Amino acid sequence: MPGIPNQPWLDALEESELERILERLRVLREGVSRLRAAASSEEPLPASELEQGR
Amino acid sequence: MSPVDVAFASIGAVRELLARRELSALELTRIQLERAESIAGLNAFISILAGSALEEARRCDERMKEGASLGRLHGVPVTAKDIVWSKGERTTSGSRIAFDFVPDRDAPALARLRAEGAILLGKTNLHEFAYGVSNVNPHYGAARNPWKKDCISGGSSGGSAVALAAGVGYGSIGTDTGGSIRIPSSLCGTVGLKPTYGAIPRDGVTPLSWSLDHVGPMARRVEDVALLFEIMSGTKIDIRGSSGSLPLRGTRIGIHERHFFENLSPEVNESARGAISRMEQLGAEPVALDVPEIELQAACRNAIAFAEASSYHEENIKNRAQDYGEDTRELLRLGLLIPATDYIAALRARRRIVRAFRKAFLAIDVLVTPATPAAAPPIGTSQLENGDELRFGLIRLVGPFNAIGFPAVALPCGMSRDGRPLGLQIASSPGCEAELLRVALAFQESQSSSDWSRLRPAV
């Protein structure tokens, strides 16, 4: 898959499991691309900034 | 009071029984342990700690005889999800991986309950490593819904909700990364609070996703959840509002039609809107709300949760993959493939989402939504009755508050025609647990004469 480094453990998976994982990854990354577009001027929000309502 | 009435009593009621010496802590603990054994078929527990619970109960009774000052939970039996560390007791996280892990200390959340005199009855079943919402656990069995035993309890804190709904324990410690306290509370007809992010220490709780994990109290009644929250968070809150016929006078309740009222089962839609109408009768003012950034939160939350969970489990998922259940294994493998740039993109989007909700919540005191879009489905099904895929559907209404870290409580608001609980969710701004619990309590008290609120599961 484009953008995903080859990892040896991927080759050992059954084809059906690999297909399911890659499909879920594709859906997730589509969503992330919308996040990029929506937050292009933002800095990351570390969870510590949410601590106790800060 | 009959043993069954004692089992289903509130914390306040059992404390009175203990204080008046009508019941000893030992007698109460024995009643609870017998009841825990009697519901073994529901798979609520991974470990029942009979020996240590009875020993703790004896010590509680001795302290009472000595006239020692007593804690706010003196002699009250509670449970904890088996991902919460308990000193000297096995803490499996619902997994084979951590089958023999014995912590050398209590999690602060548990230690604080014990310091007030609570007795730990047992460690409750959960979805493996809290990484799922059905609580169908491949290693310890499916936690079954006490209201309909062929249905799921919901998860991942399913065993805690099952035990409470069946009258075992007066409170429980749950955890919530994408709804894991509120989903089983909704499906089992109990009350569960996911507090503000960090309000209760996550220390001593095996992590799923550090940025989204919350520790919180579960119980049968709002006032019990409030007491447990006070103790576990170390804060003081007052949830009693104005008395009289309009306890919610002046309270602005937000109604967010987009996302939260889309594609609900008819019964959930009816009961949630009925609850809002009831709050209006109690004096609340409805305020329409719309935060478009809600559309971003699922991708944001998933990218963070999947990447962080796989980071924590990286070594084991690479070397002991066969020791994980199928669904957990697949999610952990998926998380290994998420690029760091996607994770950072999610953290950047999170700032925008949080800012949008903080601004929107200035116009309201609480937001009221259904907790789950449908009642508990049968074990083994992959779909809810509203058509949502199981995992997606059960997380859809509760997950947003993990993304933004705001507090939210789930509580019962009705029953389906075939006797499955329906849950309501009330959320508020960060640090405003007292406000949301005040509204929840007023609603709960307004339902005290309804037919459904008096029902108990036939277990």
Q: Note the pLDDT tens digit of each residue in B81-102.
A: 999 999 999 999 999 999 999 9
- Note the pLDDT tens digit of each residue in B184-231: 999 999 999 999 999 999 999 999 999 999 999 999 999 999 999 999
* Residue B68 banded pLDDT, cuts 50, 70, 90: confident
Strand B285-288 to strand B214-219: parallel, antiparallel, or no bridges (unpaired)? unpaired
- Substitution target in A42, A43, A49 with the highest count of B β-carbons within 10 Å is A42
Q: Note whether B130 and B208 are within 8 A (CB).
A: yes
Rounded to 5°, the CA angle B405-B168-B372 comes to: 40
Nearest to B175, CA basis, from B134, B131, B145, B221: B131
Q: Are B348 and A45 within 8 A, CB to CB?
A: yes
Q: How far apart are CA B213 and CA B202, in angstroms?
A: 7
**Which is nearest to B369 in space by CA: B325, B427, B308?**
B427
What gap in Å lies between CA B350 and CA B272, rounded to an integer? Answer: 28
Sign of torsion over alpha carbons B135, B136, B142, B145: positive
Q: What is the pLDDT, as a whole number, of residue B453?
A: 85
Which among B233, B295, B327, B351 is the top mutation candidate for probing chain A, defined by the most A β-carbons within 10 Å of its own β-carbon?
B351
Please say if B81 is a catalytic residue. Answer: yes
Closest CA to B317 of A39, A7, A41: A7
Select from B351, B404, B405 the Cβ nearest to the Cβ of A43.
Answer: B351
- Nearest-Cα residue of chain A relative to residue B321: A9
- Three-state DSSP at B67 gives coil
On the question of pLDDT at B243 being above 80, the answer is no
CA of B203 to nearest chain A CA: how many angstroms apart? 14
Q: Is A38's CB within 8 Å of B352's CB?
A: yes
Put simply, the answer to whether A38 touches B198 (Cβ < 8 Å) is no
* Min distance A26 CA to chain B CA atoms (Å): 10
A7 CB within 8 Å of a chain B CB: yes
| Contact assessment for residue B165 and residue B197, using Cβ atoms and an 8 Å cutoff | no
Nearest to B198 among A4, A36, A50 (CB): A50
The pLDDT assigned to A51 comes to 87
Tokens of B435: 């406000």
Give the DSSP per-residue string, B198-256. TSS--TTB--S-TTT-EEEEEESSHHHHHHHHHHHHT---------SS-TTTT-EEEE-
Tokens of B452: 């459904």
Nearest CB to B349; choose among A28, A35, A52: A35
For B139-177, write each residue's pLDDT tens digit: 999 999 999 999 999 999 999 999 999 999 999 999 999
- Do residues B391 and B407 lie in contact, with contact meaning Cβ atoms separated by under 8 Å? no
Q: What is the pLDDT of residue B142?
A: 98
| % of chain B residues with pLDDT over 90 | 95
- What is the reported pLDDT for A3? 64
Helix H segments across B361-432?
Answer: 390-396, 400-404
Spatial distance between the Cα atoms of B194 and B199, rounded to a whole number of angstroms: 9
pTM of the model as a whole:
0.97
A21 and chain B in contact, CB less than 8 A: yes
Residue B448 confidence (pLDDT): 87
Residue B318 annotated as catalytic: no
B residues 370..429 contacting A (CB < 8 A): 404-405, 429
- A52 or B75, greater pLDDT: B75
Interface membership of A8 toward B (CB under 8 Å): no
The larger pLDDT score, comparing residue B380 to residue A53, is at B380
User: Closest Cα to residue B15, out of B68, B64, B65, B79?
Assistant: B64
Which DSSP letter does residue B427 get? E
CB contact under 8 A, A31 and B302: yes
Q: How many CB atoms lie within 10 A of CB B339?
A: 15
pLDDT tens, A3-50? 666 778 888 899 999 999 999 999 999 999 999 999 999 999 999 999
Round to whole Å and give the CA distance between B403 and B161: 23
